[in-house]
């Protein structure tokens, strides 16, 4: 087990009816900017619940944050925050709204062009605005971590930022929000949370027994609840388990003391940046290739996964690993996600562009930098 | 899954050599009271490491906090804190030292007799001193939770307190401290952590999939590493997994949204209060009885435990449960702990006294209050 430090200050407020607890967790006196996305919260009742809880507070609204939140959109919110003297940000939405709001929190007081700190993680970000969230789509874990992913369509870039100052003060998770979600969003959320776990688990074996068993518990939970969650009228408990698992998939609990991968995410971000594919879709395409290309480096964990999560009992070790990779792709397909680049009309030219970008950035990704540009090429070509 | 709220501000600093990080996490300017136990830290090098890290700080020492920290001892520390103007408490020890230090933190500014807030959890505790810990014995999880158990030998009482103000600011966990521990302390720590997990897991099944899998992961980790940890020269990784598992066993991670039990602990506390038995020993005596008496109420979880942790494949459901209870007692025995009241010369008179105390206090313990005084009698009599 590696040495580690961990501190997560987020207050989690979880359960049926919890949006009503919003007002008791906010301080009056600060002007609040309420951020949201394309307006689905106006259809599913969340907007009304939040507005009711915010009665008596000074609120300015900023809607229209798109999936893969765009720098240009977010900079409009930054301008409004500066002009109106906003002192607190309340993100009501999924990972894109929350991530975008984290960027706003860091950009408002930033001297200079905020894209600079997105592109260069070593730049200090100075003062940030406090933020809280009402989560409407389980997927990214952003509600309980200090990270965000920001896109810039102008330059076809998608980059991750992370800073302890960007932990939400509190996050409200009412699993009932899942009941009205379209199947595509639920499928993307399940795939995203699943691969988040894998990025922290499916690396080398360095005797992290608790973390490994916990990662396996999250994977098996997501696989168990997925069929019910995807139904038109899912059970509350299935939704609650999905929502809690997605938060635990990326709040740092399973990352302590382990080596992490994240190469699949980096490749996925490029596919979204270049072709606009849903994030969960990109992960589902890439991840089986990562497993196959690094089956030797990830051998111990592939076997643990095969035996403990997928309950594969028979066959040689290599046959178990073959079956595990196959069943992983089948899981994504069972969510209704197609898992080949060719399913989306993407070919060799995109692979060459991604490899060229990674080469220019000098990126050797994955645990111990094993995912060199050459290996990235091999992974993506295996997914054509 | 139940609704829940969770926030844990403790900064965990984990790993080989981490005691050296003490000074960078402390603020100069406050007078620090360094608390510790019977002096084992002076033999194993921890005292020297801490003193070295505290060079340049203003420190007053308070040693001699005994196992099951005593009210009279702790009140002496409270008087010194008041006289010297101590502003920060640093607990260097196991659960007893940390728990005792939490009591000191709450008592220093308390108006009136501090035993009052121990006996009556509804009394507000006012201002508390900030505390930090250097853990020397994995067991109680006190390093990452807001609870403490305090004894009063004068009245043969042992009571639990808990308050969000009592979370440590940070806790330093260096698994190397385990290398020099006597076998008895390691055995007690393993048993204590094991039963902590059980108190939160072995209740009724309310669809908490993540929490259940995580509890099972902790149980299997503790069982896996126990034989090596108990050896005279255990492996670092076994110690690290034990230490991390013991923290996660009682830092709230597996408690979110579940129904908890804790009847075994309450019975165990009385056995310690009356007979001075080690805490881990009392739990090992009582817990198999709790499982047997409530095998119907805990049926789903007993089966999950049998199958997922103990890998019991054959037999009817009841045979699986029989085997699970038997193997649990065998696990405690494998630690070198005897698991019958008669092994310690304890008989019916003690049972009657405990039942009488619980009756007077009006205690119906366990999930949903199923552990009435009558059931407590049945459990303890089954352990004669």
Cα B112 → chain centroid:
28
Coil vs helix vs strand at A93: strand
What is the Cα–Cα distance from B230 to B329, expressed in whole angstroms?
17
To test the contact with chain B by mutation, choose from A22, A164, A214 the residue with the greatest count of B C-beta atoms within 10 A, namely: A214
By C-alpha distance, the chain A residue nearest B21 is A5
Instruction: Kindly state the tokens that stand for B281.
Output: 């020993």
* Beta strand extents in A153-229 (DSSP E only): 157-162, 170-173
For residue A283, what pLDDT is reported?
A: 98
Q: Please report the pLDDT score of residue A28 as a whole number.
A: 84
Tokens 């054509």 correspond to what residue?
A: A384
Q: Whose CA is closest to A305, among A383, A216, A174?
A: A216
Q: Does A8 touch chain B (CB under 8 A)?
A: yes
Q: What is the pLDDT of residue A39?
A: 85
Task: Calculate the CA dihedral of residues A366, A372, A378, A383 and round it to 10 degrees.
Answer: 40
- Which residues of chain A carry a pLDDT beneath 70? none
Interface confidence, given as ipTM, is 0.96
Per-residue pLDDT, B29: 86
Calpha distance B223→B242 (Å, rounded): 9
- Interface residue A164 vs chain B (CB under 8 A): no
Which residues in chain B have Cβ-Cβ distances shorter than 8 Å to A227? none
Q: What pLDDT sits at residue B215? A: 98
Beta strands B170-173 and B131-135, pairing class: parallel
Smallest CA–CA distance from B3 into chain A, residue:
A15
Distance CA B219, CA B196 (A): 10
d(CA A228, CA A379): 32
> If you ran DSSP here, which 8-state letter would residue A272 be given?
H
Per residue in B318-338, pLDDT tens? 999 999 999 999 999 999 999
- Residues in A closer than 8 angstroms to B213, CB to CB, are 213-214, 216-218, 220-221
Residue closest to A5 by CA, chosen among A255, A319, A365:
A255
Supply the pLDDT for residue A244.
98
DSSP B309: I
Structural tokens at position A122 = 């070593």
For the stretch A11-30, pLDDT in tens is 999 999 999 999 999 988 89
Residue A313 contacts B, CB cutoff 8 Å: no
Query: How much is the CA Rg of chain B, to the nearest whole Å?
Result: 20
Q: What is the pLDDT of residue A68?
A: 92
**Cβ separation of A4 and B16 shorter than 8 Å?**
no
Is the minimum CB–CB distance between B25 and chain A shorter than 8 Å? Answer: no
3-state DSSP call for residue A262? coil
Could you tell me the end-to-end alpha-carbon distance of chain A, in angstroms, rounded to an integer? Answer: 37
pLDDT given for residue B171 in this prediction: 98
Q: Which pLDDT does position A348 carry in this prediction?
A: 98
pLDDT of residue B283: 98
User: Radius of gyration over alpha carbons of chain A, in Å?
Assistant: 20
Rama region for B373: left / alpha / beta (φ>0; ψ in -120 to 50; rest) = alpha
Query: Are residues B7 and A5, on separate chains, in Cβ contact within 8 Å?
Result: no
Residues of A in contact with B241 (CB under 8 A): 1, 207-210
**C-alpha A163: how far from chain center:** 15
- What's the pLDDT score for residue A27? 85
In this structure, what token pair is assigned to residue B206? 């309310």
Q: What confidence score (pLDDT) does residue A121 get?
A: 86
Confidence (pLDDT) at B240? 98
A209 vs B216: CB contact, 8 Å cut-off?
no
Q: Could you tell me how many residues make up chain B?
A: 384
* Contact assessment for residue B247 and residue B270, using Cβ atoms and an 8 Å cutoff: no
Q: What is the DSSP letter of A65?
A: P
Rounded-to-integer distance, Cα A237 and Cα B253, Å: 19
Q: What is the dihedral of CA A193, B10, A170, A179, to 10 degrees?
A: 30
Residue B28's pLDDT is 84
CA dihedral A113, A115, A120, A126 (to 10 degrees): 60
Q: CA of B25: which chain A residue's CA is closest?
A: A5
Residues in chain B within 8 Å Cβ distance of A210: 217-218, 221, 241, 244-245, 248
Q: Tokens 């630690």, residue?
A: B335
Sign of the dihedral defined by the CA atoms of residues B171, B366, B380, B354, in that order: positive
- pTM, to two decimals: 0.97
pLDDT tens digits for range A288-304: 999 999 999 999 999 99
Q: Residue A329 half-sphere exposure, CB side, CA atoms within 13 Å?
A: 17
How far is C-alpha B143 from the geometric centre of its chain's CA atoms?
10
Dist. CA B265–CA B138, nearest whole Å: 17
Return the C-alpha torsion angle B283, B286, B292, B295, nearest 10: -50
Q: Is A104:A35 a contact under the CB 8 Å cutoff?
A: yes
pLDDT of residue B101: 98
Burial of A257: CB neighbours in 10 Å, binned 0-12, 13-18, 19+:
buried
How many angstroms from the chain centroid is the CA of residue A95?
A: 6
- What stretch of H or E contains A5? strand A4-14
- pLDDT, one tens digit for every residue, chain B (384 residues): 999 999 999 999 999 999 999 999 998 889 999 999 998 999 989 999 999 999 999 999 999 999 999 999 999 999 999 999 999 999 999 999 999 999 999 999 999 999 999 999 889 999 999 999 999 999 999 999 999 999 999 998 988 999 999 999 999 999 999 999 999 999 999 999 999 999 999 999 999 999 999 999 999 999 999 999 999 999 999 999 999 999 999 999 999 999 999 999 999 999 999 999 999 999 999 999 999 999 999 999 999 999 999 999 999 999 999 999 999 999 999 999 999 999 999 999 999 999 999 999 999 999 999 999 999 999 999 999
Q: How far apart are CA A188 and CA A190, in angstroms?
A: 6
CA distance B44 to chain A (A): 21
Question: How many Å apart are CA B18 and CA B40, to the nearest integer?
Answer: 19
Dump pLDDT digits (tens) for A249-270. Answer: 999 999 999 999 999 999 999 9
> Which residue's structure tokens are 């699943």?
A194
């Amino acid at each position: 087990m590696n040495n580690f430090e961990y501190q997560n200050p987020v207050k989690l407020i979880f359960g049926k009816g919890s949006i009503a607890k919003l007002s008791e967790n906010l301080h009056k006196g600060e002007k609040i900017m309420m951020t949201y996305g394309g307006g689905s919260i106006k259809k599913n009742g969340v907007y009304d619940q939040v507005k009711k809880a915010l009665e008596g507070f000074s609120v300015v609204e900023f809607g229209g944050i798109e999936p893969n939140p765009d720098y240009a959109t977010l900079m409009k919110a930054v301008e409004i925050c500066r002009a109106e003297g906003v002192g607190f940000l309340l993100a009501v939405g999924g990972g894109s709204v929350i991530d975008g709001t984290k960027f706003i929190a860091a950009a408002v007081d930033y001297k200079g062009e905020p894209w600079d700190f997105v592109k260069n993680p070593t730049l200090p970000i100075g003062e940030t605005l406090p933020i809280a969230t009402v989560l409407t789509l389980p997927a990214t874990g952003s509600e309980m971590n200090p990270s965000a992913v920001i896109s810039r369509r102008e330059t076809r870039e998608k980059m991750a930022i992370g800073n302890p100052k960007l932990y939400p003060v509190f996050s409200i998770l009412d699993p009932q929000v899942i009941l009205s979600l379209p199947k595509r969003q639920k499928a993307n959320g399940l795939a995203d949370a699943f691969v988040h776990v894998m990025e922290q688990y499916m690396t080398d074996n360095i005797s992290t027994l608790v973390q490994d068993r916990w990662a396996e518990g999250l994977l098996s939970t997501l696989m168990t609840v997925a069929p019910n969650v995807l139904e038109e009228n899912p059970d509350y408990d299935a939704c609650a388990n999905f929502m809690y698992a997605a938060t635990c998939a990326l709040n740092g609990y399973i990352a302590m003391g382990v080596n992490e991968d994240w190469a699949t995410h980096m490749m996925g971000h490029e596919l979204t940046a270049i072709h606009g594919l849903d994030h969960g879709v990109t992960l589902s395409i890439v991840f089986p290739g990562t497993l196959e290309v690094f089956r030797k480096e990830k051998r111990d964990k592939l076997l643990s996964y095969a035996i403990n999560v997928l309950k594969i009992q028979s066959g040689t070790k290599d046959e178990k690993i073959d079956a595990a990779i196959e069943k992983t792709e089948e899981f994504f397909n069972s969510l209704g996600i197609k898992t080949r680049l060719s399913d989306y009309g993407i070919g060799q030219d995109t692979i060459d562009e991604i490899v060229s970008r990674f080469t220019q950035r000098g990126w050797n990704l994955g645990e111990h930098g094993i995912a060199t540009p050459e290996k990235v090429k091999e992974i993506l070509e295996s997914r054509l």
